Amino acid sequence: MIRYELSCDNGHAFEGWFGSADDFDRQQKRALVSCPTCGSTHVAKRLMAPSVSTARKKERRQELVVQAGQKEMMNKLREIVSTIRANSEDVGERFPEEARKIHYGEAEQRGLIGRASADEVRELLEEGVEVAPLPVLPDETN
């Protein structure tokens, strides 16, 4: 696609997108290019500065896209962790014991959060107790 700055014989400026330079020329000859303001088909290309994409500009655009994506992901993670915390009981160091009680039907089903060592988590998983760590997220800045 190619973008042209255009103007009509009445001085109205606008832009147009075309498949190629030849595409613009063909459409103009058939009077298919018209001013959106007044409808004039006497349209000409205006002088415009080329859009030069340097490697540095491209890298910066990619960085901005990645940063925006990371920020969005962190916001979603914060929302998920907040929802889990709001709907769970914090049992602290008793987590492995309480998780087992729920798993084996000795306590009512409910959401739990708490602390467990790596060995305790491994043992719970080996027993078939479903557990997952909550991520520790950095404080939000900006």
List the one residue out of 118, 67, 71, 76 whose CA is nearest residue 95.
118
Q: Distance (Å, rounded) from C-alpha 115 to C-alpha 27?
A: 70
User: Which are the contacts of 45, defined by CB distance < 8 A and separation ≥ 6?
Assistant: 4, 5, 6, 24
Mean pLDDT of 19-24: 88
Give 69-116 pLDDT, tens digit per residue: 788 888 898 899 999 999 999 999 999 999 999 999 999 999 999 999
- pTM of the shown model: 0.48
Continuous H helices in 30-54: none
The distance between the two most distant Cα atoms of the chain, rounded to a whole number of Å, is 85
Q: Which phi-psi region, left, alpha or beta, contains residue 92 (left: φ > 0; alpha: ψ -120 to 50)?
A: left
Give 30-59 pLDDT, tens digit per residue: 999 999 999 999 999 987 666 666 677 777
Q: What is the pLDDT of residue 142?
A: 42
Q: What is the pLDDT of residue 51?
A: 61
